Structure 1
Amino acid sequence: MIVKDAQPNSDQAFGFRLTGAQVNQDFTLVDDGSATNTQTVADLPVGQYQALEFFLNTWTLADISCNDANSTGNPGQRTATINLEAGETVTCTFVNTPAPTATPTNTATNTPTDTATPTATNTPTNTAVPPTNTPTATATPASGTLI
């Protein structure tokens, strides 16, 4: 028996292929809370079978578990390998979760910034040279008497 477990329940149809001794069957399962999430194939001969879940880009296959120690699930290969023995009923459950969605992020950092700050350097300076022809007075004593 193949069981589909969508978490959360969904009306999404998941495609499967069951192959092995005397069986090559495609089917779909829907886990919307109704009985459409189970596929049973009865009266199979003893042998090895492969149950493959087809890829859906909106869902991630999170786990495959089987209730039989001789049967295994491989989510990376999307496959359950079922080793059926006489009188045995094996159930493998395929668990899917919604695939992560890409969230756009704004990484633009092209924000203009002012890096040059003008400064006023218009300071007047006095570079005038004072005149060098300073008048000089020379006194000449008057002729006269000394006391």
Structure 2
Amino acid sequence: MFKLSEIETISKIIDIEIKKINDHLPTSYKSLEELLKEDIPSVKTRGGDDIIFLKDELATLAKLIPEEKHKDIKLPIIALRRIDLGKGVYTLISSEETIKFIKKILDIDSDSEYLYRPQIFELKRKFSSLVVIGFSTSFNYEDNEENIWNR
């Protein structure tokens, strides 16, 4: 069996690699209201690049959500692939209001915090530029949730 120090070393290595893999994730969110006003709607990634949102997708989303809620919808939506939970299990990372509307758009009435591959494919099909896929393990999920993607 592994010693505790070996397990800690392995988990640190995994954390470092997961952070490298997630270099494309945003450093911050913007509201739908804010993005609709921008000439080139975008946010910065952890790696320094831009995530550029398609204006037609923003407009489509805006039509599906009451205008008074546009300030509460935070983008991009991060679909966090939870490797520790098995194949095709995801957690959405965004504001509660955003997650509520995304589930409504996907016709999901479950209170489950998890989405599955077919639901993520449907979300990406409808809003390819508004959704970013990230990766996490049980080792770094809490750290990611609290520190890296704070709203």
TM-score (norm 1): 0.24
Larger Rg: 1
Please identify which structure carries the higher strand content. Answer: 1
Please identify which structure carries the higher helix content. Answer: 2
TM-score (norm 2): 0.23
